[in-house]
Amino acid sequence: MRVDLDGAKAQYDEQGHWSSPVLFGAADVQRFVAAGERVVGGEHRGGRAPTLSLPFDPSPSDLRKVDNAWWADPDIAALTTDPTLGEIAATLLGASSVRLWQDQLLWKPPGGPGETTIGWHQDWASWDTVASHDAFVTAWVAFDDVDDANGAMQMLPGSQRFGLVEGVGNFFGTDRDAQLEALGPDRSVEPTTVCLAVGEVSFHHPLTFHGSGPNTSDRMRRSLAIHLMDAEVTAVSRPGIWQHYNLALFRERGGELGEPYRFDDLCPLLHTDR
């Protein structure tokens, strides 16, 4: 392990996010980028299409978001299920075993606010109707150097302590200032920009507010967001605006409410101390 796990855990608990040193070398990242280009272009060497690819009719300047890209390409699958990421996630979660929840390939080209902004949001808002508790962590792998110019991710440090805030977060929101104002003065936090080099990884809590501004540079901002969970998380069905598709996929495979999410083709095991 090339990181101080105790230090990572302390910062993660305090700030709601932590960034690693380089975990993936240049040759590996080049392989991941090539795989991502194939998936974004509609080539599926893995034998399965991704769950969702947005927008449905993209322009060259649109942000591309592809859910479960690991289904579509073995090189993406190798990154998504990397055991080092699983070990780090286990430390941050305080879990003995970690499974994959899903991944999201994020291709942000140069473009304006309407095409490449990612609004402030909490990941847990997308999963709380189908998962027993919020023992999740996101590993965001940088395929390019990322900074303010090409739309680096930003965090609201400590916002994981806000709990789930209804009616504010929206991944597709473009007026990020209005979103911050809607949080109210009691939750006023100065955003932190997460600048990363190629192959570094940012980890964040599912309740930490995060988002990113537009890519105003002439460079791409490509990444893979890997959502990981404590293997003790179980399937539930709560009312809400929508239920994440993993619940239906789990039940199609024979899983029942109250059982831990599993099945290697849906939520493979990345790490276990057992």
Q: Mean pLDDT score of the chain, rounded to an integer?
A: 95
pLDDT at 151 over 90: yes
Peptide linkage before 157 cis (omega within 30 of 0): no
Q: How far apart are CA 255 and CA 21, in angstroms?
A: 38
Sign of CA dihedral 97, 237, 124, 76: positive
CA angle 33, 38, 44 (to 5 degrees): 130
Question: What tokens does 50 get?
Answer: 């991704």
Q: What are phi and psi of 217, to 5 degrees?
A: -90, -170
- pLDDT tens for 56-99 read 999 999 999 999 999 999 999 999 999 999 999 999 999 999 99
Query: How is the beta sheet containing 210-212 ordered, strand by strand?
Result: 118-121, 210-212, 153-155, 192-193
pLDDT at 19 over 60: yes
pLDDT at 149 over 80: yes
Which amino acid, 157?
Answer: P
Share of the chain above pLDDT 70, in %: 100
Q: How far apart are CA 230 and CA 157, in angstroms?
A: 23
**Would you state the pLDDT for residue 148?**
95
**Would you state the pLDDT for residue 204?**
98
Give 204-249 as a DSSP string. E-TTS-EEE----SSS-EEEEEEEEEETT-BB----SS---HHHHH
Q: How far apart are CA 274 and CA 272, in angstroms?
A: 5
pLDDT at 1 over 70: no
pLDDT at 117 over 70: yes
pTM reported for the whole predicted model:
0.96
